[in-house]
C-alpha cells in the first residue's frame, strides 16, 4: 500500500505467576528466571522497533541494520524458547501416563519412554550452554532430541518443538544451596514438573 510503513507487532511477556511451589525448583529460582525472560521480551520489541526505523528510512545497507538482524535470532529465540519452557511446567504435574499421546510417540520412536528420557538427559548434560529440545518432524512423524547452542544456533528448519529444557546456568544458578548448583539434580526435578498434557497438545 502506498505510503504505508513497516510497523512491527509488539510482544507482551506472559504471566507465569502460577509457577510457584514446583518440585525442587525454588520460587526464588523461578523469579530470577522470569526476570531474565522479561528482558528478552523487552529487547525483542526494542530490536524490532529499531530495525523498522532503519528499514523505513531506507537504511537497510547500513552496518547497524545488519548487526541488528544478526542479533534478532538471539533475542527472539531467547524469548520464545523460554515460553515453551515455562508453558510446559506446572506445580500440579503428574506422571507421564502410557496412554498420553506424547508417551506413545516417544515409545514408538525410541522403544520406551525411559529410552527417550535417557537420550534427552544425555543431550542436556552435554558441555556447553543452550537447550535440550524434543522435536517432531511433521513431514514423517519422527521424534528426536536436539541440542541448540545459545538460543539461536542449530534449530532444525520446519521441526515442531514439543518439549524445551533450559540448561543454561541461569535456569538453576540459585536452584539449591549451598552452591555450586548441580545441573544433574535440576534436570531430574525438571521432569517432575512437566505438564505432559501441554506437551502432548504440541503434537498437533
Once rounded to an integer, what is the mean pLDDT over residues 33-49? 98
All structural domains of the chain, each given as residue ranges with its CATH number in brackets, are 27-87 (1.10.287), 101-201 (3.55.40.20)
pLDDT at 174: 74
pTM comes to 0.94
Return the minimum-mean-pLDDT range out of 65-79, 135-149, 174-188: 174-188
Share of the chain above pLDDT 90, in %: 90
- Residues 106/135, Cβ–Cβ less than 8 Å: no
Q: What are the two backbone dihedrals, phi and then psi, of residue 149, each rounded to the nearest 5 degrees?
A: -80, 140
Asked if pLDDT for residue 181 goes beyond 70, the answer is no
- Residues 149/129, Cβ–Cβ less than 8 Å: yes
Angle at 197 between CA 195 and CA 202, to 5 degrees: 105
Quick check: helix, strand or coil at residue 153? strand
Asked if pLDDT for residue 20 goes beyond 60, the answer is yes
Higher pLDDT, 173 or 27: 27
Asked if pLDDT for residue 176 goes beyond 70, the answer is no
Q: What confidence tens digit (pLDDT) does each residue in 66-121 have?
A: 999 999 999 999 999 999 999 999 999 999 999 999 999 999 999 999 999 999 99
Amino acid at each position: 500500500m502506498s505510503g504505508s510503513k513497516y510497523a512491527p507487532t509488539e510482544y507482551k511477556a506472559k504471566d507465569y505467576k502460577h509457577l510457584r511451589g514446583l518440585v525442587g525448583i525454588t520460587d526464588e529460582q523461578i523469579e530470577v528466571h522470569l526476570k531474565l525472560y522479561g528482558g528478552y521480551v523487552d529487547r525483542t520489541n526494542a530490536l524490532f522497533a529499531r530495525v523498522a526505523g532503519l528499514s523505513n528510512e531506507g537504511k537497510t545497507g547500513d552496518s547497524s541494520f545488519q548487526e541488528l538482524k544478526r542479533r534478532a535470532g538471539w533475542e527472539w529465540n531467547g524469548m520464545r524458547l523460554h515460553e515453551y519452557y515455562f508453558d510446559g511446567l506446572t506445580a500440579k504435574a503428574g506422571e507421564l501416563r502410557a496412554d498420553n499421546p506424547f508417551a506413545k510417540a516417544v515409545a514408538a520412536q525410541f522403544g520406551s519412554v525411559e529410552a527417550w528420557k535417557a537420550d534427552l538427559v544425555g543431550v542436556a548434560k552435554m558441555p556447553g550452554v543452550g537447550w535440550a529440545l524434543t522435536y517432531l518432524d511433521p513431514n514423517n512423524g519422527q521424534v528426536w532430541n536436539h541440542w541448540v547452542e545459545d538460543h539461536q544456533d542449530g534449530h532444525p528448519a520446519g521441526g515442531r518443538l514439543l518439549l524445551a529444557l533450559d540448561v543454561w546456568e541461569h535456569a538453576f544458578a540459585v536452584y539449591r544451596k549451598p552452591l555450586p548448583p548441580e545441573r544433574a539434580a535440576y534436570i531430574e526435578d525438571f521432569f517432575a514438573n512437566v505438564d505432559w498434557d501441554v506437551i502432548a497438545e504440541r503434537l498437533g
